[in-house]
Chain A
Amino acid sequence: MFACVKNRFSRQLVLALCCTVVAGLAALSAQASDLETIEQRGTLRVAVPQDFPPFGSVGTDLQPQGYDIDMAHYLADQMDVDLKLVTVTSANRIPFLQTDKVDLVISSLGKNPERAAVIDFTEAYAPFFLGVFGTPDAAPVDDAAGLAGKTIGVTRGSVEDMELSDLAPSDTTVQRFEDNATTISAFLSGQVDYIATGNVVAAQIAERNAERAPTMVFRIKNSPCYIGLAKDNEALKTRVNALIEQAKQDGTLESMSQKWFHTALPDDLSS
């Protein structure tokens, strides 16, 4: 009796394992849609964020909006196909690509070796960087030595805190605050005239306080965003790269940057 149950149990277990492996293989072997498939289908499927303004968020009309969404619209328009937006989280955006649920991931995706091993990247399409920002009339500085004598607010323990602590000359005063909100308050109240933060945070401050909109003074660390696509999808990659280049040339990216980040594109993105 016991042996029988055990036997049945192991048979079920083997069956379950087989199903898992088959499903896994099916998913792995999911053929990425190439450019031809997309054009035949007439729809471009793009993974976009909905929880990361100004790249992607949900507007008051419940529609996704943001820099990434505008980019997706631009690509679909230029390729003359319909657009299907698929909202993803930062954790599942690469699996969506690997299982052919989307053709492109336009989701503030940074490039790193781990990701490059499983997916391909196009050229950079969006600025993402940590920098020192000043008041609207602050003058840019060329290198870290230009930060000498300045008082800079930063959120303690953040990546920008670590980088700034390494870079800044010894006579730079770094004031560390408990969290982003306090750092922003210190900047807005005039306690500090410089803050180190990401361009996304700076854009949010500019959005709400135009008269004290942070302007970039010095770039600490650059990590632009790339569009992700399945490996070995050369035709699609070439097409998207050409469209990104065109968007740089005709000012599309510049106007998107002005619209969502309230600042000009950095030099390495504008051509």
Chain B
Amino acid sequence: MHPKDQALLLETRRHFFGRCAVGLGGLALAGLLDRHLFADPKPASPLAPKPTHHPAKAKRVIYLFMAGGPSQLELFDYKPKLHEFNGQPIPESFLKGKRFAFMDSFTKEPPKLLAPKRKFARHGQSGAWVSDLFPHMAGIVDDLCIVTTVATDVFNHAPAKVFMNTGSAQFGRPSFGAWLTYGIGSEAEDLPGFVVLQSGPRGPRGGSACWSSGFLPTAYQGVPFRTTGQPVLNLASPQGVSPQRQAQTLDVLRELNLKRLAETGDPEIATRIASYEMAFRMQTSAPELIDLSSETRETLELYGAEPGKVSFANNCLLARRLIERGVRFVQLYHTNWDHHGGPGEDLEHSLPAVAKEVDKPCAALITDLKRRGLLDDTLVIWGGEFGRTPMGENRETTGRNHHIDAFTMWFAGGGIKSGQTVGQTDEFGFGPVEDRIHVHDVHATLLHLLGLDHKRLTFRFQGRDFRLTDVHGEVIRKLLA
């Protein structure tokens, strides 16, 4: 964005009544303001929908973030050769110049290749390889575009998660969801434009940096929704404050604030009034949103969702409900995929357990979106911050170490060419042989589908036009329908 336009946007952001004024006797407010001083540019909420650079194939995103780094070698990237070479040291040529997490475990003795722990088969018309850990996903494989050659730059969890979300390992940059809502706004009337959900034993490493708005205005920051109790912090009115009392409070606040607006002429007060109106609407809409009891039994069963529980299945269903209400970007974190070996992180029991938690809901989400006609213009993303090594890592049991050269993600929906597996890794699954697709390329491609040119979606900060893709990124045509 040109700095001048950016300045204009930031200025006009203040002049935000438009649709939010509807709830507060918009006419009176507009009349008052007309009398006043505003020959200003068009009023716009920071989250008002904005035009795209080119026609968009996808209007919204559901990002299923598999936190911890799922082992592609037990899930999608089938490497029979690893059976043959199981227990043998990986040829040194592979390791030259490479760095890994937990380096000492690899420097003590040369790391040995580890055979896949699971059975693989081809599925669907596309004949995509999927392991027996994902029987449900295997059933919808023709709706997916599986990419086995994604590459990233960093191999520790927190920096890698931040990298996957922001295109930089440095904390403090805007995340994908923030860039998107900054770029095209949101269609949600009474919910934030960017919502984050969490399931699994713990929150993702990196925490709020993963959904940060960085140097963009904080209006674009991801808002964490809790899926039990109060979905948003401070959403519930205090004890003793009924909806009616809250409404009375908002009435008097609006009148006094309007008076102040007339006295000072500061449009920021109009924004403040609108924020209070939206907060009030959220108090009703957010609990309604997380209440799954209105879903049919069939739908609940499809996802494996149980109202009142914290689960990935519930979150998948919530994601659908969120996008139905116009939310632009929903991100689901599910922990823990960090299978180094050892208690809670072994490939034998822990991996199948977490795979089972996500398999059915992921497939259900695709099926449900499809039958509701939402998949056509919704992008669904599945993947972690990196993958895992073809070599075993010896802890209490043998697991796999973090790996950044080639790992698997899948994409589905709006504008994605489904029913294909893109990318070819070498016989051990260590690195790409063709179609290396870097995180920056993934970002560029997804923005392209959302109607944005990653080179033009910029923000001037510290003297430089920043982008989600930094100075890199190419739209990968193979992924496009």
Same complex for A and B? Answer no
